[in-house]
Amino acid sequence: MKQPKITIITVNYHKEDKTIKLIDSIKSSNYKNYKIIVIDSDSQGALKKLSKKFQELKIIYKKENTGWAKGLKIGVNSEKNTDYYLFLNNDQILDKNMISFLIQTAESDKDIGMVAPSVYSLNEPDKILTIGYSASG
């Protein structure tokens, strides 16, 4: 079965090292049909380590600080050829199974319009910070 295409979008704001760790975790995922877009907000054109290490990335440089939501919108508008979008903060680290689990859940019922992961603390791995989202309560 063909994997749906995922477009992963994150916004970088002067935190290149965190963005590198995020992308390392995405690359370690067992899900492989994705494209990564990084919006460099308030860009100084300084993502030298990031662009050198991950040449396949699409990096969109913005001179002003777009904020997170507007940065994500810029990413969405730049990539329409996708089945799903995954929006990530650049200070997150993904479990290798997370994307597969989210896609499996989304694909399990045509009435599902959105899925979200549980988020755990990096400093306290047993501490849940948020548990997805449920419109039903």
pLDDT digits (tens, 9 = 90+) for 24-54: 999 999 999 999 999 998 877 668 788 888 9
CA dist., res. 18 & res. 73, Å (int): 21
Domains of the chain by residue range: 6-131
**pTM for the whole structure:** 0.89
CA dist., res. 27 & res. 21, Å (int): 10
105-136: pLDDT as tens digits: 999 999 998 898 888 877 887 888 887 654 44
CATH of domain 6-131: 3.90.550.10
Owner of token pair 């329409």: 80
Nearest Cα to Cα of residue 71 among 53, 90, 84? 90
CA dist., res. 37 & res. 21, Å (int): 15
